Amino acid sequence: MKFKPLLLLWFTSLLFSTLCAQVEEPPVYTIDFRAISWSGMLTDVYYQSVGASPARLTVPVGTRSSFQRYRGTSPLTFFRIVGKDEDGNPIKKPVASLPLQANGSDLLVNFIEIGSETRLPYRLFVIAEQSDEFPFGTCLFYNFTRKEVAVAFGSSLRKIAPADKQAFSLPEAEANFQVRIADQNEAGNWKSEYSSVWSGNQDERIYVLALNHPNNPERILIKSITENRVRYEYELRRMEAHAATDKDQ
């Protein structure tokens, strides 16, 4: 069988394009993040950027870690080191995995323990904490339960569907306000799950989670954390200075 010159050129070009597509490298993302745990402190967790050694991460309970920078492919995998192989390389045991689709900055990675022996032991979800997404002077309420919840935040009353969120404004000056949270039982009647007096102002932001109770499907858990503007700006400057140092090296 003889190929005409143009047909042979087309076939060669197609073959070259196919081979290039097969060896195309996956995209490398840059992610600036902090981490928080709602299931106990993690002190032996690592992640690894491209061309770098494993970076140890301490994930505190109910408060944010220092800023971290990951540069690598998707997914961002958090792991424990459980030993070394015969070549001296670390043996990694994954504990959580975060798919990436784009670069990201000022992200909060939340660790929640699943407790399953057949899956990764922690579930992750991410909250964007950029000032335009989560400004100071705001309380951001996420409903990660299977139920609709009702939130009375000061004089504001709203219902929040599962997997949804609502933002509430904090007082202009430091002030106390009532926070009440309720959900429905199997009969459809509303029942109180939380009631307390909080305080806040425009130089703070409060992040609240409603979670499924691990032991009682009729109950929900309420977790909250407050961040001060001054502390946030300090941590951000530290991260930027560290990133600049890495770039110069």
Mean pLDDT of the chain: 88
91, part of any domain: yes
Read off the pLDDT of each residue in 146-151 and give the average, rounded to a whole number: 95
Domain hosting 70: range is 26-130
pTM confidence score: 0.81
13, part of any domain: no
DSSP string, 58-100: EE-BSS----EEEEESSSEEEEEEEEE-TTSPEEEEEEEEE--
Read off the pLDDT of each residue in 21-28 and give the average, rounded to a whole number: 77
Residue at a domain's end among 99, 130, 161: 130
Task: Please state the domain count of the chain.
Answer: 2
Query: Is residue 142 a contact partner of residue 127, using CB atoms and an 8 Å limit?
Result: yes
151 and 190 within one domain: yes
On the question of pLDDT at 242 being above 70, the answer is yes
State the distance between the two ends of the chain, measured CA to CA, in whole angstroms: 59
Predicted local distance difference test score (pLDDT) of residue 3: 45
Query: Is residue 122 a contact partner of residue 39, using CB atoms and an 8 Å limit?
Result: yes
30, part of any domain: yes
